[in-house]
Amino acid sequence: MKKAIKIVVAVALILTILTFPGQASGSDTGIKYPATKTTQSVSPEDDVNWTNPANIGASNNVYATAALSYNQYTYRLKAQGFDFSTIPDGATIDGILVEIERKASVVNIYDYRVQLLNASGSLVGDNKASATWYTTRDVIASYGGATDKWSASPTVAMVKDADFGVVLSVYCNNYFGGTVYVDCIRMTIYYTEAAVAKEYTYCYILGA
C-alpha cells in the first residue's frame, strides 16, 4: 500500500516598507545669549562707542551704555557666538527672534540698525530698526519671530557659525542728548527637522 505523501511547501514572503513620518513642527532652541560681545565703528555709526559691551550677555540689570549728544549715532554693538548646536543637521530654519532689553534716560532716542550678521560676520538681510522711542524703563523689544527669516536665507550652518549674530546701533534725536542702556541681546531660532525614513520589515509564511 502506497502511503500518501503530502508535501508542504512553505514560502516566506518578506515585505519591507519605508515610511516617511510627517515633519516635526514648532521646534525651537530656546533663548540663547551671545558669548562674544564687541563694538564696531562704521560710518555713520561711529560717533560714540559703547561702555562695557560685555554686559549684554545676561538679563541682570547690568548695562552696556552710550552717552549721546544730539544727532549722534552709537557704534555697532555686536552680539555673536550664540550656541545653536542643538539644531539638527538638515533642519530648515523657519524664523529668527531677536530680543533686546533696553532703555534710555530721555525720549527721542531710537534704533538706527538691528540687523543680522552672516557666517562671515557681514550684515545680511533686513534692517529691522524701529523708530519707536526708547522708554525710560527697561523694555524687551522683539524683532523678527517664528516665521520671519529676515530676508537672510538662514541655514543651519550659518546660525551655528561663531560669527553669526546681530548688531544694534542707536540714534539720538533729543536736542539735549541722553544715555542709552542695553541690558541684554538674546536670540531664539525656530526650525523644522528633516523627515527621516524608517524601515519596517514584515514576514509572512504561506503554506500549501
The per-residue pLDDT for 135 is: 98
Q: Checking DSSP bridges between strand 27-28 and strand 178-192, what pairing results, if any?
A: antiparallel
> Where does residue 16 rank: exposed (0-12), middle (13-18), buried (19+ CB within 10 A)?
exposed
The per-residue pLDDT for 194 is: 87
Residue 190 in grid coordinates? 525656530
pTM of the model: 0.83
Beta-ladder partners of 142: 99
Mean pLDDT (10-residue bins), the chain, 208 residues: 43 44 70 98 98 98 98 98 97 98 98 98 98 97 98 98 98 98 98 73 53
- The closest of 56, 175, 53, 182 to 108, measured between CA atoms, is 175
Domains delineated in the chain: 23-195 (2.60.120)
The per-residue pLDDT for 197 is: 57
